[in-house]
Amino acid sequence: MKELDETKSWIIDTAQTVIKHVIENGAWQADVRIEYGENYLTRFANSQIHQNVGETYTKAFLRVFLRDKRFGCVTIISRDIDEILKAADQALKIAKASKPDPFFKSLPEPDRILPTDRKMFFEEMIRLTPFDRAEIVGKVIDAAHEAGKHVSAVNGALSTVLRLQAVANSLGVNVFQAYSFASLNVLVTAKNMQSEAEGFAYRVSGNLKEINAEEVGFEAGERASSGLDAKKIEPGDYEVVFLPYATATLMFHLAIDTSARSKDLEVSSLINKENKKVLHEDISVVDDPRSEKTPVPLLFDGEGVPKKRLVLFDHGVFKNFVYDSYYAGKEGKKSTGHASFWRHASPFPSNLVFEPGNSKLDDLIEDTKNGILVSRLHYSNTVDPRRGIITAMTRAGTFKIENGELKYSIKNMRFTDSYHRILNSLSILGKDLRSMVVRRGFITAPSIKVNSVKFVGTTG
């Protein structure tokens, strides 16, 4: 801990030194983010560890603005103050050679960060050894194999992340946070004489201790085992039960559309839809770092602006885009605290929560007459951004539901449809929540049952 305390002091002091340096050398405004990170990732495939990697780094991102709104940015990975100051001089040089950006108004003023009762940094995560990680992976592999005799390969990754971050700017912002999290993704393959199937499970938590490795392995193993002997069904319009992992992918596309950058680029399906009902009335989505449902509370954004609860969808009504200071200034608004850590002008939600309902997964299945259970989506992409049309393949557990019962496993299918249309056809909200790491934030979502998704193709 002593080393981390020293690192904390170093990044806070360095942030101040850098700001002072660029202001003394002609910058009108400036901000800097400095991050120290320790990341470890143990990958396993074919039921053994095959990649096992680690990194430590100190990274800084600095922006300088001149009075006439010319600006320059530098990113440097270094813990050498001379190198960082040299990079800062380079940012000034770029700014002086640049052209004014009339849309830039100002960096944010300091604001009070609301405290949180939640613990963000777990000391025990520092003390984890490669052998501890290998032991956890072993538990996952063993549990997955115990889930079914046809389990042939257990694949996935266990990742642990520690971050110490400071953000400072020339207007007085000076904030620090330290947080940790661990994630575990497991994809199990089962095989019999005739077929092969996959099952997936995922967990993320601020503390690795809270992830039950056996449970994750077993969940993926069980789903893979029950997916064998898949049948091919015709594409068409089906009712769908999306498990939380799949719902989170739909939420990711929705999150992209809530960014003020997507709006500015005219590629958001939510343009001109503020305060209009765009999704089913049971759907409420918030970005809330203090929600108990989000794995790690991120208290401020890349510009040091405090994060507060922001309602994105209230009972289906679209309420807010997310802003950083650049897009907020451009539209004469206030930043919502969603600046990117490593990019200029690229806001994105970081603690997205799709509020759950009260129904069990069984209720969602029982409500389905002729439908498909989708465990996970693979390689989703936007087809028509203004209409929210996306395409994706189902993966790792796709099952036919008939008359309220899971009937049989089916081959993976492709849908191409508008997520607005899909989410407007919501029938039941599940109460089971799962979180995923997305970009540098988290998306938490429940299972949902929707009445209509257009499938356009099948594999196999």
Residues 311-370 that bind another protein (CB under 8 A): 343-345
The answer to whether 391 and 378 have CB atoms below 8 angstroms apart is no
d(C-alpha 372, C-alpha 259), whole Å? 31
106 scored as a contact of another protein (CB under 8 A): no
Shorter beta-carbon distance to another protein: residue 162 or 365: 162
Query: In 3D, which of 53, 98, 48 has the Cα closest to residue 73?
Result: 98
Q: Which of 6, 123, 130, 229 binds another protein (CB under 8 A)?
A: 130
Shorter beta-carbon distance to another protein: residue 338 or 449: 338
Shorter beta-carbon distance to another protein: residue 155 or 205: 155
The answer to whether 375 and 223 have CB atoms below 8 angstroms apart is yes
Sign of the dihedral defined by the CA atoms of residues 211, 162, 167, 440, in that order: negative
392 scored as a contact of another protein (CB under 8 A): yes
456 scored as a contact of another protein (CB under 8 A): yes
Give the count of residues interacting with another protein (CB under 8 A). 91
CB of residue 15 to another protein, shortest distance in Å? 18
d(C-alpha 411, C-alpha 228), whole Å? 10
The answer to whether 436 and 344 have CB atoms below 8 angstroms apart is no
Shorter beta-carbon distance to another protein: residue 57 or 334: 57
- The piece of 116-124, 173-181, 211-219, 389-397 that touches another protein (CB under 8 A) is 389-397
Radius of gyration (Cα) for the chain, nearest Å?
24
Shorter beta-carbon distance to another protein: residue 47 or 291: 47
d(C-alpha 244, C-alpha 210), whole Å? 19
SS3 325: helix
Shorter beta-carbon distance to another protein: residue 155 or 207: 155
Sign of the dihedral defined by the CA atoms of residues 413, 417, 418, 423, in that order: negative
412 scored as a contact of another protein (CB under 8 A): yes
Q: Map the footprint of another protein across residues 170-209, applying CB under 8 A.
A: 185-187, 189, 198
The residues facing 302 across adjacent strands are none
Q: Distances in Å between the alpha carbon of 6 and those of 1, 14, 34?
A: 9, 12, 14
Shorter beta-carbon distance to another protein: residue 15 or 286: 15
The 8-class DSSP code of residue 124 comes to G
Q: Map the footprint of another protein across residues 60-89, applying CB under 8 A.
A: 70-79, 83, 87
CB of residue 241 to another protein, shortest distance in Å? 20
236 scored as a contact of another protein (CB under 8 A): no
Q: Which of 32, 141, 168, 374 binds another protein (CB under 8 A)?
A: 141
Query: In 3D, which of 44, 395, 38, 40 has the Cα closest to residue 213?
Result: 44
- The piece of 242-250, 313-321, 375-383, 400-408 that touches another protein (CB under 8 A) is 375-383
Query: In 3D, which of 205, 216, 203, 157 has the Cα closest to residue 181?
Result: 205
The answer to whether 219 and 154 have CB atoms below 8 angstroms apart is no
Q: Map the footprint of another protein across residues 20-39, applying CB under 8 A.
A: 39
57 scored as a contact of another protein (CB under 8 A): yes
- The piece of 151-159, 164-172, 310-318, 347-355 that touches another protein (CB under 8 A) is 151-159
235 scored as a contact of another protein (CB under 8 A): no
CB of residue 39 to another protein, shortest distance in Å? 7
Query: In 3D, which of 347, 344, 298 has the Cα closest to residue 75?
Result: 344
